[in-house]
Amino acid sequence: MIYRLPEVGDEAALAAYVREHHDNGETSISASLGLSSSDYAEWVEKIRRNASVGDDEWGRSLLYLCLEETGLIGLLSIRFELPASLSEKYGDIGYGVRPSERCRGYATEMLRYALSVCREKGMSKVVLGCYKDNLASAATIRKNGGVLFAENEKYKAGRISQYYSIAL
Ligand SMILES: CC(C)(COP(=O)(O)OP(=O)(O)OC[C@H]1O[C@@H](n2cnc3c(N)ncnc32)[C@H](O)[C@@H]1OP(=O)(O)O)[C@@H](O)C(=O)NCCC(=O)NCCS
């Protein structure tokens, strides 16, 4: 798998990625940082700025396209400079895999790669948030050494968020 920042030339591939989620009945695109509601060129600029200079509140972060020879498989977000308060609320890592490529081990591989990046950045642990009913994501986290440490009910959506930590 190749991991890289998005470029202006990826617009068609990302549009197809978003469309596939919508066709599958999914309205939110995980780890996309507002892709489907943004002007594409501005979105690319924002992602590249986040990787280089970062943001006062969120620090620097990476949003990688995860590519195989067949094309775009998933998106991976690595927020390696989050202050503890945001890390515990949103998690340091997010990911999504396109519907047609799920259940092939890609998310497990992507999370393993994200952990290696975090380790290189000097982090000693990461936090991941995941809804309790998202069994696929919970399994992905557990397979990468995640240990459940907290959960709380989200009153707005009526769902339970769970938080896992992984020691690096
Ligand atoms: C969660 C998601 C990233 C998993 O991607 P994936 O590439 O299918 O995951 P993997 O193939 O690496 O599978 C990881 C584990 O989840 C399990 N799994 C996959 N789909 C599952 C499902 N629908 N129900 C239960 N377990 C499931 C797999 O069996 C595997 O565990 P195992 O090896 O013990 O059998 C993918 O379903 C997705 O993109 N969902 C929408 C976005 C999302 O939820 N992102 C995470 C936000 S916290």
Please answer whether residues 139 and 114 qualify as being in contact, where contact means their C-beta atoms are separated by less than 8 angstroms: no
Q: What is the structure's pLDDT at 157?
A: 73
Of 129, 127, 126, whose CA–CA distance to 160 is shortest? 129
Average pLDDT (72-80) is 98
Judge if the beta carbon of residue 30 lies within 6 A of ligand 1. Answer: yes
Of 78, 33, 42, whose CA–CA distance to 60 is shortest? 78
User: Bridge-partner residues for 72, per DSSP?
Assistant: 67
Q: What digits encode the pLDDT tens for the residues 17-42? A: 999 999 999 999 999 999 999 999 99
Q: What digits encode the pLDDT tens for the residues 53-69? A: 998 999 999 999 999 99
Looking at the whole model, is its pTM more than 0.75?
Answer: yes
Please say if the pLDDT value at position 156 is more than 70.
no
Mutation pick for ligand 1 pocket among 89, 102, 104, 159 (CB with most ligand atoms within 8 Å): 102
What's the Cα-to-Cα distance from 98 to each of 26, 56, 64, 66, 81, rounded to whole Å?
10, 31, 14, 10, 27
Average pLDDT (79-86) is 96
Mean pLDDT lowest among 33-47, 98-112, 145-159: 145-159
Q: What is the structure's pLDDT at 151?
A: 85
Residue in the structure block whose two tokens are 């009945």: 25
Q: CA angle, 28 as apex, 26 and 33 as ends, to 5°?
A: 150
Please say if the pLDDT value at position 128 is more than 70.
yes
Tokens of 70: 């067949």
What is the Å distance from ligand 1's center to 52 Cα? Answer: 30
